[in-house]
Structure 1
Amino acid sequence: MNPRTPDQRRDADQRGREGEAEAAMFLAQAGWRIVAERVKTKAGEIDLIARKPGLIAFVEVKWRARAAQLGDAIDERRLARVAAAVEMVWQDYATQGEDIRIDVILLAPGSKPTHIENAWMPFG
């Protein structure tokens, strides 16, 4: 894999921010309240944290240039990284006994967002 140039990293970061904003709007329209964005931990970053009554969702957002690429956007390794980050901060957000889960939102131009609820089911 070729290393990215600074311009490529900046462009990817910008697309990621735009994707996260689109995902936040999608969640808000579905009745969620966004309580945090881009939460950084030692284990990694959580893109969005959203709340509904009795539920906190830690949301990984993946954007791809083509919808056909979305199938490879998320895997167990990436979800495990998100889960490790969630483990570090969930108690700061689920302060009233809410259930917590990890969701994924997949985005591509010209296609409707795909919301995968409770995407992290660790293999034991």
Structure 2
Amino acid sequence: MGKHNEFGKEGEQIAVDFLIKNGYHILCKNYRYLKAEIDIIAQNNDTLAIVEVRSRSTDFIENIAETITRKKISLLTMGADHYVTEKDLDVEVRFDVITILKNKKVFKIEHLKDAFYHF
């Protein structure tokens, strides 16, 4: 596995730990439906958070969260819809992004709630 893939998995675990620490219950990691993959599905009260995790080990000028394309948003929406239907859930659905920036051995975590809306 490449170093960037290893860091991606490490970033997802950091995001899971962050969510749990902040009162979320993790329902699923790496949920797949057709071409859609949702990094984390978590619940906090009556809100289902569909979480996309973005990890980076260097500082770029571009905001990490802005690297999510319209196609990715469409896939996340489709995957979330399938998950909610499959599990017969009656919850509010919110799309979040957790960004993790690793600078040397220090991690900076940012949780963007309602990062985007489906269209």
Same-fold status (TM-score > 0.5): yes
Please tell me the root mean square deviation across aligned C-alpha atoms, in Å.
2.0
User: Structure 1: which amino acid aligns with 2:52?
Assistant: E
- Separation (CA, whole Å) in 2 of partners of 1:117 and 1:71: 11
| Structure with greater proportional strand content | 2
Give CA deviations for 1:48-103 in whole Å, capped at 9, x if unaligned: 010111111110001011243525432333222212221222223562x2111111
Structure 1 length-normalised TM: 0.79
> Equivalents in 2 of 1:51, 1:38: separation in Å?
15
Matched, 1:55 2:47: yes
The percent identity for this pair of structures is 25
In the alignment, the residues of structure 2 paired with residue 85 and residue 101 of structure 1 have an alpha-carbon distance, to the nearest angstrom, of 13
**What is the distance in 2 between the residues matched to 1:41 and 1:119?**
21
Q: For structure 1, which runs of at least 5 residues remain unmatched after alignment?
A: 1-6
The equivalent residue for 2:56 is 64
Specify whether residues 37 and 21 from structure 1 end up closer, same or farther in structure 2 by C-alpha distance, changes over 3 A only: same
Higher helix proportion (structure 1 or 2): 1
Uncovered stretches (5+) of structure 2, i.e. residues with no partner: none
Please point out which of 80, 83, 104 is paired with 1:86.
80
2:8 aligns to what?
16
Q: Secondary structure at the match of 1:113?
A: strand
Residues 19 and 122 of structure 1: is their aligned pair in 2 closer, same or farther, counting only changes over 3 Å? same
